[in-house]
Amino acid sequence: MNEQEELVKLYTGDDITISRIKMELEAEGIASLVKDGIKQGLGAGFVGGVPTAVDIFVTEKDFEKAYEIVNALTKE
């Protein structure tokens, strides 16, 4: 990913599900970015939040293919 590519939120879920999605996306050559508000907050000294609120983002150009992958994984 480069700075000029627009990121789109693909999925929100727990850490385990997001890790599996990220692994499957990488296997298909799709780069992704994971944002975990809980871990970021703990690192900054804050407590609180929802542990299932981990977001994964992909570029707009990869969104459709990534969405199909997520649908297949979440239907299992």
Write down the H helix ranges in 1-76.
Answer: 15-27, 37-43, 63-74
For residue 36, the model assigns a pLDDT of 82
Q: What pLDDT shows up at residue 5?
A: 84
Question: What does the pLDDT look like over 25-70, one tens digit per residue?
Answer: 999 999 999 998 655 555 545 555 555 689 999 999 999 999 999 9
Domain of residue 13 covers 7-74
What digits encode the pLDDT tens for the residues 5-32?
899 999 999 889 999 999 999 999 999 9
Q: Is pTM, for the whole model, over 0.75? A: yes
Within a domain: residue 1? no
- 34 forms bridges with which residues in the sheet? 56
Domain total in the chain: 1
Residue 68 lies in a domain: yes
CATH of the domain at 63: 3.30.70.1530
Checking phi first, is residue 49 left (phi over 0); if not, alpha (psi -120 to 50) or beta?
left
- Structural domain contains residue 13: yes
What is the pLDDT at residue 74?
86
Classify residue 24: in a domain, yes or no.
Answer: yes
